[in-house]
Structure 1
């Protein structure tokens, strides 16, 4: 009888030990994202992903550099904040091996009023703020060219900077700023080209508040679609499911209703 009691107690102790007698939950899939709209989109799909067996942890970033470095260093499993041309340029300059897993949406760049409320109000020597990172600066200059303010060298491509401006009739003065800083500097310049995500954070909508913006049906929309990036060669099932959910009709409806043209689905 005493032997049976000891056996029962021993079994009870085994099953009471942490991790014994039950399956441990898998580690969450870590995704780095900038707050708006990327983190908001991921928060929307989080319960949908959980229903499909994928738990995600969203790690917030407020710049365009650290999310890629963290992904390359395996501190993240994916990130969501950039477009493919930016990623390609980043790979070359930082010797990273990252790739696009899925295209999700397009955020039109907008030319927003600062001290000047209309393009017609711009005077000789007025100041224009543009992003200082590769590809986004080129996008900004092409938008300014489209509205007739400048002319950029034809062969400058997506690496164009203010040094590639060959015609500037109003002798506009350009201020190159980190993309995240431009919306906060709007009151200090005549006009500014602001990235879509930072415009939204500042309560601005390129579709309704900008003096001009990239067209959702233009080549820019196809070229600069925002992507989920992963390490090159990573083909885990979580990534396939994430792609499926992010390109669902549920997400399309969410983007169209919440962002009213400031974020445009591309699928």
Structure 2
């Protein structure tokens, strides 16, 4: 009898969880309401503004806020969300590869720009030959730092090593920069001992550095680390997504980002 009661309880719980998904969990998305996942912080703040703009066009956005980077994609893949807004394509591609999912990007949103900072020089052009350059020691952010230097013309990466470049994959390094790989969170504390260093936006802000005002080089919206709106592949052409893109990429939202974040977050749909 106890076994039967336990089985009935489990079945009831499964039924409840199955009913918790989004209205658009299968088939075409609801053209009046979307459930959108965001991470807390800037993404949450911006999508709250997007919701105000979208409401004028008859589209309701229900925000679901997450505190980690995995669950927003898991929830989307399982149909509990219609869309999410928090990630760049390299992260999305890695998630799809690791979890065998088919999530796709459908519209550019923002860039949290990585910056190059220096306590000693006001311009990257002032760096001497052999300058000590600090960069994150993880592959994603290390590559990101190198891409910034290449876009500015200071190094050249080997063509066959472009996907995830390391300091050993350089074809040209005319300044003979001495690359020093460090834990990303520790770089601001080591900046005084370096000639220049690449620092992620969150760590720069924690150290009192402004990407817009204090960096000597700043990542541009051409970066592959621009963030996107993401949906399940089956929904990528649903008409309601055009309403969402229009609201997010509106002048009203752009001005909100510029005023609220002062250059620490960059609207990335206009290059």
Q: Sort the TM-score into its range (normalised by shorter chain).
A: 0.5 to 0.7
Cα distance change on mapping 1:37 and 1:59 into 2, 3 Å: same
Query: Matches of 2:83 and 2:225 in 1, distance apart?
Result: 18
Q: How does 1:163-178 map to 2 (within 5 A)?
A: 163-165=168-170, 169-175=176-182, 177=183
Aligned equivalent of 2:96: 91
Please report how far the alpha carbon of residue 110 of structure 1 lies from its aligned counterpart in structure 2 after TM superposition. 0.8
Aligned equivalent of 2:256: 254
Aligned equivalent of 1:231: 232
Aligned length: 230
SS at match of 2:231: strand
Query: Matches of 1:265 and 1:146 in 2, distance apart?
Result: 17
Please report how far the alpha carbon of residue 210 of structure 1 lies from its aligned counterpart in structure 2 after TM superposition. 0.8
- Deviation track 1:188-243 (CA, whole Å, cap 9, x = no partner) reads 35344234466456654322211211245xxx25x443211111112556534322
Aligned equivalent of 2:82: 77
Aligned equivalent of 1:242: 244
Query: Matches of 2:253 and 2:146 in 1, distance apart?
Result: 31
Aligned-residue Cα RMSD (Å) equals: 3.5
Aligned equivalent of 2:65: 59
Q: Is the 8 A contact 1:36 1:200 kept in 2?
A: no
What TM-score do you get using the length of structure 2 for normalisation? Answer: 0.67
Aligned equivalent of 1:34: 39
SS at match of 1:159: coil
Gaps of at least 5 residues in structure 1 are 1-25
SS at match of 2:63: strand
Please report how far the alpha carbon of residue 33 of structure 1 lies from its aligned counterpart in structure 2 after TM superposition. 2.4
What TM-score do you get using the length of structure 1 for normalisation? Answer: 0.68
Q: Is the 8 A contact 2:35 2:83 kept in 1?
A: yes
Max Rg structure: 1
Which of 148, 152, 156 is the aligned partner of 1:143?
Answer: 148
Q: Is the 8 A contact 1:61 1:67 kept in 2?
A: no
Q: Is the 8 A contact 1:255 1:265 kept in 2?
A: no
Q: Is the 8 A contact 2:188 2:204 kept in 1?
A: no
Gaps of at least 5 residues in structure 2 are 1-22, 25-32
Please report how far the alpha carbon of residue 99 of structure 1 lies from its aligned counterpart in structure 2 after TM superposition. 0.6
Query: Matches of 1:156 and 1:137 in 2, distance apart?
Result: 13
Query: Matches of 1:43 and 1:198 in 2, distance apart?
Result: 24
- Deviation track 1:30-85 (CA, whole Å, cap 9, x = no partner) reads 4332334312211222333345241312313344x443233223343322122234
